[in-house]
Amino acid sequence: MKRICLIALAAMIFPMAAAAQGAKPEANPVSSAVRQSVVRFSKIMVAAVDAMPADKYEYHPTPEQMTFGHLVAHMVGSNFLLCSKISGVAAPESSKVTDKDSKDKLVAGLKASFDFCTETLAKVDDSNLGESLTLFGTRTASRAAAMMALTNDFADHYSAAAMYLRLNGILPPTAQPAKKE
C-alpha cells in the first residue's frame, strides 16, 4: 500500500516539477507588473471620475477634506510626475489641470496622464531599478521605489474616489455587477 501511495505521489509531483523547470523567468518582472497596473487602473479610475456628476466635483465629505475635483487634479499631477521621473521623459506642458477645471477637462487630463504613463513606461525595464531619482524637492528614492509609489498611489486614489462616489449614492466601477454578454 505504501508503495502504491509513493508511486501515485511521484506521478503527481514529477510532471509539475518538470513543467516548473521548463518555465523561463520573466525578463522584467517589476516594470511589467507596473505596466499591468497602469492598464487596470486607467480603466477603473477613469470610469470612477467619469461616474461622478459634474455638479459633485465640488463635493467634499468634511471641510478638511479635498473636493472631488481636487482629488482628480491630484491624480493627474501624480501620474504625470511619477511616470516622468520613472521614465526620464518630461511631462508635456499641457498636462496641468486644477481643481477648478470642468469635469470634462479633468477627465480628459486623467486619460492623458494614463496615456503618458502607458507610452513612457513601455520603454522602461528592470535594468536600473536601483538608480536614484529626485522625486519631490530634494527627496530622493530609487526608480523601484518610485514605481512602487506609483502603483500605491493608484490604489490610494481609486479608494478615495470610490469613497466619494459611495457617499453620493454611486456604486464605484469595481463594485458594479458583472455585465452579461
pTM of the model: 0.84
Instruction: Provide the pLDDT confidence category of residue 89 given band limits of 50, 70 and 90.
Output: very high
Residue 34 lies in a domain: yes
Could you tell me the residue range of the domain that residue 41 belongs to? 28-172
Residue 2 lies in a domain: no
Instruction: Name which residue leads in pLDDT, 58 or 12.
Output: 58
Residue ranges in 52-180 assigned as alpha helix (H)? 68-87, 103-121, 143-167
CB 31 within 8 A of CB 147: yes
| Residue 136: strand pairing partners | 139
Q: Considering only CA atoms, which of 117, 122, 71, 58 is closest in space to residue 97?
A: 71
Residue 21 lies in a domain: no
Residue 22 lies in a domain: no
pLDDT digits (tens, 9 = 90+) for 105-141: 999 999 999 999 999 999 999 999 999 999 888 899 9
| H or E segment and range at residue 44 | helix 29-51
Give the rounded percent of residues in the chain with a pLDDT score beyond 70.
87
Residue 5: predicted pLDDT: 44
Supply the CATH number for residue 162's domain. 1.20.120.450
Residue 180 lies in a domain: no
The yes-or-no verdict on residue 83 having pLDDT over 90 is yes
Q: How many residues are listed for the chain in this entry?
A: 181
How much is the average pLDDT of 149-174? 97
Residue 179: predicted pLDDT: 79
Contacts of 92 (CB under 8 A, 6+ apart): 116
Q: Considering only CA atoms, which of 50, 29, 179, 26 is closest in space to residue 114?
A: 50
Residue 42 lies in a domain: yes
Three-state DSSP class for 132?
strand
Give the rounded percent of residues in the chain with a pLDDT score beyond 90.
78
Residue 20 lies in a domain: no
Long-range Cβ pairs for the range 23-27 (8 Å, 24+): 27/125, 27/126
Residue 77 lies in a domain: yes
The rounded distance, in Å, linking the Cα atoms of 2 and 149 is 53
Domain count along the chain:
1
The rounded distance, in Å, linking the Cα atoms of 97 and 165 is 21
The yes-or-no verdict on residue 64 having pLDDT over 90 is yes
The yes-or-no verdict on residue 38 having pLDDT over 70 is yes
Average pLDDT for the chain: 90
Residue 3: predicted pLDDT: 59
| H or E segment and range at residue 142 | strand 139-142
How much is the average pLDDT of 10-24? 55
